[in-house]
């Protein structure tokens, strides 16, 4: 199949999936409304009919239905966001291969007039090499692509590995586009990477703090001992004390 035809077929597929998903969202919205009204009605009957268990059970069933429809609704919303991202991606690809220009991010922020060549050879900016290559979905990916273009690979084995990776991924359009779409939906911000680095360093900091390490092992034993003491003697003060101390140590 011709490249343009491939992208057009995928555009048609994702438009159809979006229509199906939007219809499903409308149905689930009606189901949630019906469950909510039923919960209110069964709750009213439970209190007005002398607290009969049947009305309470019916209300419980409707609550379960409401929660289930809410879960399904969120899943459908997630699919809708994914299909929208994939539709937009294929529309950009179709525009590019049919000569309409590139709508991908052009990397203008990476232009450096002091660099040996990136400011002169249309490496970055409108209609640049970066814009035609860029299928990244995160800030980290954009920075990595820019770094590769500013400092091209020099070693033969590294170049061959890159060529092998490109050859492997070239025919896997579904995998590549799903990867890009999910990356875009992550909505990475500069703060995210700082928080990830802090999170990665946190376990090492914990291991070097012996007091916290000892507490992590001792407190569950203390709480369990308090629960067992309560089960045997009926005295709950030690169980409560252990729980409060455990809560305080966590805070």
Angle at 13 between CA 137 and CA 15, to 5 degrees: 75
Enclosing H/E stretch for 190:
helix 190-207
Enclosing H/E stretch for 224:
helix 210-233
Q: Which of 14-23, 122-131, 236-245 has the lowest mean pLDDT?
A: 236-245
% residues pLDDT > 70 (the chain): 82
Q: What is the pLDDT of residue 222?
A: 74
* pLDDT digit string, tens, across residues 116-170: 776 667 888 888 889 999 999 999 899 999 999 888 888 999 999 999 999 999 8
| Residue that wins the pLDDT comparison between 19 and 213 | 19
* pLDDT digit string, tens, across residues 21-76: 999 999 999 999 999 999 999 998 888 888 888 888 999 999 999 999 999 999 99
Say what the pTM is: 0.72
DSSP characters for 80-122?
HHHHHHHHHHHHHHHHHHTTS---S---GGG--TTSSSTTTTT
Confidence of residue 224 (pLDDT cuts 50, 70, 90): confident
Cα torsion through 165, 167, 168, 171, rounded to 10? 140
């Amino acid at each position: 199949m011709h490249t343009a035809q491939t992208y057009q077929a995928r555009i048609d597929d994702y438009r159809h999936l979006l229509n199906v998903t939007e219809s499903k969202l409308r149905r689930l919205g009606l189901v949630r409304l019906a469950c909510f009204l039923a919960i209110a009605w069964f709750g009213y009957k439970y209190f007005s009919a002398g607290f009969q268990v049947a009305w309470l059970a019916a209300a419980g069933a409707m609550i379960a239905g409401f929660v289930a429809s809410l879960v399904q609704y969120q899943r459908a919303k997630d699919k809708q966001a994914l299909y929208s991202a994939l539709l937009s991606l294929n529309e950009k690809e179709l525009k590019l291969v049919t000569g309409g220009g590139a709508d991908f991010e052009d990397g203008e922020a990476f232009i450096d007039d002091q660099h040996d060549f990136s400011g002169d050879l249309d490496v970055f900016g409108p209609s640049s090499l970066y814009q035609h290559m860029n299928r990244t979905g995160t800030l980290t990916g954009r920075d990595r692509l820019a770094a590769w273009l500013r400092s091209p690979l020099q070693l033969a084995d590294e170049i061959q590995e890159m060529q092998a990776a490109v050859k492997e991924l070239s025919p896997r359009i579904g995998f590549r586009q799903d990867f890009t779409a999910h990356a875009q939906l992550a909505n990475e911000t500069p703060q995210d990477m700082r928080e990830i680095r802090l999170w990665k360093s946190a376990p090492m900091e914990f291991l070097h703090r012996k007091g916290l390490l000892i507490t992590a092992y001792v407190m569950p034993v203390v709480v369990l001992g308090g629960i067992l003491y309560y089960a045997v003697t009926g005295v709950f003060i030690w169980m409560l004390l252990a729980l409060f101390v455990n809560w305080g140590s966590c805070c």
